[in-house]
Structure 1
Amino acid sequence: MSTQDLGADTFESTVNEHEIVLVDFWAAWCGPCRQFAPVYERVSEAHPDIVFGKVDTEAEQSLSAAAGITSIPTLMAFKKGVLVFSQPGALPAPSLEQLVTAVRELDVDAAPAAAPSTTEERSA
C-alpha cells in the first residue's frame, strides 16, 4: 500500500482501526521532509499490510498541535491504537525498516509502555 493522506477527520479512526499505522508529519516547504518522502513511499510499498499515513502540518495545524508536533519531519508509529514511537528527523531506509520490524515484534498487550529504542535506529 502506498502512503495515504490523513487529516483531522480520518486520523483517529485510521490509528484505531488498523494493527500498525506509521504517520509522517511533514510540510511542503521542509527540505528534510521532501528528502524523506521517497524513502517513506518505498518502504510503504514493501509493507502493504501497514498503513503509512502522511499529515501535512500546514493544512492540518490543529491536528499537528494536538499531536505535539514541534519539529518536522516527525514520524510516529502506532500499534493497536497505542503510540509506540515518536521521533523528529528523517530516517534512512534501513532505520525505517528496523522501526517497522520493531513495531511488528512489539507486544503492546504485554508491555503497553514499551517502545522501540530510538538509539538503535540512529546507530544503523
Structure 2
Amino acid sequence: MATHAVTSKDFNQIVESNDLVFVDFWATWCGPCRAFGPTFEKASEANSDIYFAKVDIDQNPDLASAAKVQAVPTLMVIKNQQIVFQQAGALRASDLDDLIAQAKALDVNAAAAEEAEAQAE
C-alpha cells in the first residue's frame, strides 16, 4: 500500500520531512470518499516520489479543523511545507494526474515571490 494513514501526532513531522505531500481528508461514512479512495491509491502507486497521506476526519477532528476542512473528501497539496492547493470534492483520475504534474512542476519560491510582488502593486 502506497498511501499512509496519518494522525494529528505525526502530521507535522511528515510535512517537514517530505518535499511533496498529498493529503486526502476523508471519512468512513462518506460515499464520495470511498469512491475517490481507489483513485488516490492508484496515483500513490504510480508516484513513489510523493507522500500520499490519508486523514480520517472522525479519528483526527483537531487536524481537520486546523486544516479548515469543511467537507469531505478534501484534497490538500503541500509542497516545501506550504499549502499550494486545497479543494473539497473527489477528483477524476485524469484531474488528479494533472494536479500531480502541476505540483511537481511548481516552484514554490517563485510563486511566493510573484504573489508578494502582485500584492505590493
Q: Same fold (TM over 0.5)?
A: yes
- Highest CA radius of gyration, 1 or 2? 2
2:53 aligned with 1:53, yes or no?
A: yes
Residue 113 and residue 51 in structure 1: after superposition, are their counterparts in 2 closer, same or farther (change >3 A)?
farther
* 2: CA distance, partners of 1:46 / 1:89: 21
The CA deviation at 1:15 is 1.0
Q: How many residues align?
A: 114
Residue 85 and residue 113 in structure 1: after superposition, are their counterparts in 2 closer, same or farther (change >3 A)?
farther
Q: Deviations over 1:28-80 (max 9, x none)?
A: 00000000000000000000010000000000011101110100000000101
* 2: CA distance, partners of 1:102 / 1:16: 21
TM-score (norm 2): 0.91
The CA deviation at 1:113 is 7.3
Give, as a single letter, the amino acid of the residue that structure 2 aligns with 1:33: C
What is the alpha-carbon root mean square deviation over aligned residues? 1.3
Question: For residue 117 of structure 1, what is the aligned residue in structure 2?
Answer: none
Question: For residue 118 of structure 2, what is the aligned residue in structure 1?
Answer: none
The CA deviation at 1:112 is 2.3
Q: Which runs of 4+ in 1 moved over 2 A?
A: none
Question: For residue 119 of structure 1, what is the aligned residue in structure 2?
Answer: none
SS in 2 for 1:55: strand
2:57 aligned with 1:64, yes or no?
A: no
- Identical aligned residues as a percent: 45
* 2: CA distance, partners of 1:23 / 1:97: 14
2:31 aligned with 1:31, yes or no?
A: yes
User: What 5-or-longer segments of structure 2 have no aligned partner?
Assistant: 115-121
Q: Deviations over 1:89-117 (max 9, x none)?
A: 00010000000000001000111277xxx
* 1: CA distance, partners of 2:26 / 2:35: 11
User: What 5-or-longer segments of structure 1 have no aligned partner?
Assistant: 115-124
Give, as a single letter, the amino acid of the residue that structure 1 aligns with 2:54: K
Q: Deviations over 1:8-42 (max 9, x none)?
A: 11111111211100000000000000000000000
